[in-house]
Amino acid sequence: MDRFALPKAKVIEDFAEFISPGKVKSYKMMGAEVVPARREGVRIWDVDGKAYINCRSSGGVFNLGHTPPEIKAVLQKAMDDGLDIGDHMLLSAPRAALAKKLAALTPGDIHYTVFGVSGGEAIDLAIKLARAHTGRPGIISAIGGYHGHTGFALATGDESFKKYFGPLAPGFRQIPFGDLEMLDDAIGPDTAAVIMETIPATSGFPMPPDDYYPTMRKLCDERGALMIIDEVQAGLGRTGELWAINHWNVVPDIMVLAKGLSGAYYPLSATCFRKHLGKFFEDNPFIHVSTMGGSDIGCAVTMAVLDRISDPAFLAHVRAMAGRFARGFSALMKKHGKFLIEVRQKGLMIGLKHAEEKHGFLMTALMFKNGVIALFANNDKTVLQIMPPLIIKEAEVDEVLEALDKSYNELEKF
């Protein structure tokens, strides 16, 4: 670690010179020049000693907090037992065990899993499988959605992320999220799949109508299209259910997982799909490979993550903390309704919508100042995203609510 123990100013200088001057400029504008040093639980400490509660959680990477001791112990034991990345072309006991566990935990008759490293990689595979299975090219996604920065994943996303990189793969169409009339009109004979984030994070956590996913399931079945659900951020206990789609009692054909599977220690993603879709890979077993995907040591980590997050007591804790937040937000809306106009919440997946776009920027800066990391949603900058680690405790929830209250009071001065 000594080689990384540099003064903060030097770290910022090197980051700007060798990684991204544009990012450093943005961090300075937002008052977010944080260089993490110590990390533990819901907090990180800047190299200058200031502590922050992390209400970004890197989109769910830190569901179990920073440096979770039980996951660290599993990783250490896996190394002591002689596990390493493994060879993706060989059979693997950890990979088989993890896939079996996912088959037991995922909704309905989802059965098979192909492992990767990143969410974008897993989304790409989901789209490849949908096109291969149906023989159709069309992919429908949501305006303002986000599924990653790789090839097919990028093509499903918002224009702001992809406009510089064209021409992209053809066959992709975007429709407004939650609009059943547009969905009905869009699914046609050339549609391979509809892909949605269960709750779209980057567009500010809009909540779907109650009948949105049941109707989507019905339309896909009637028209021979597949239903792909992206649970990279919404899954793994984030909403108080193990999978967010469970709130709607719907089984997708393909479900994509990532981020939180890592336990904040080892990257791993998963493309999980129903048994009837397995024929393509049975006939073409080596047509998709991922050298680092489903590494033996990563599977050991993820098994421990799933053990913890699937515990009913853990999910009950998430729901209890969500309730505490909800009561606090109600009080904040009454006090600061000039700014905070809507609370979008499912468990600990929370979007605070503001009256103006500038409020999202300013609240991001003020929350950093007041010791909480919370960023505006890129595709709806009126929304401040609140995604704390799922292990957050009552006193820490209260700290976040107090920081919000203080930030709104300071916003009045602008």
Query: How do residues 176-207 score in pLDDT, each as one tens digit?
Result: 999 999 999 999 999 999 999 999 999 999 99
**From CA 51, how far away is CA 54, in angstroms rounded?**
9
Dihedral sign, CA of 54, 345, 397, 235? negative
The pTM (predicted TM-score) of the whole model is 0.96
**Which of 128, 256, 144, 147 is CA-nearest to residue 192?**
128
Q: Is the dihedral of CA 122, 128, 133, 138 positive or negative?
A: positive
Written as one letter, the residue type at 301 is: V
Sorted by where each starts, the structural domains of the chain and their CATH numbers stand as 34-67+312-411 (3.90.1150.10), 69-309 (3.40.640.10)
DSSP codes joined into one string, 363-403: HHHHHHHTTEE--EETTEEEEEEE---TT--HHHHHHHHHH
From first to last of the 414 residues of the chain, give the pLDDT tens digit.
Answer: 578 888 999 999 999 999 999 999 999 988 889 999 999 999 999 999 999 999 999 999 999 999 999 999 999 999 999 999 999 999 999 999 999 999 999 999 999 999 999 999 999 999 999 999 999 999 999 999 999 989 899 999 888 788 888 888 899 999 999 999 999 999 999 999 999 999 999 999 999 999 999 999 999 999 999 999 999 999 999 999 999 999 999 999 999 999 999 999 999 999 999 999 999 999 999 999 999 999 999 999 999 999 999 999 999 999 999 999 999 999 999 999 999 999 999 999 999 999 999 999 999 999 999 999 999 999 999 999 999 999 999 999 999 999 999 999 999 987
Long-range CB contacts for residues 310-314, cutoff 8 Å, separation at least 24: 310/105, 310/237, 310/242, 314/237, 314/390
Residue 210, class by beta-carbon neighbours within 10 Å (0-12 exposed, 13-18 middle, 19+ buried)?
exposed
Task: Give the pairing of strands 51-54 and 43-46.
Answer: antiparallel
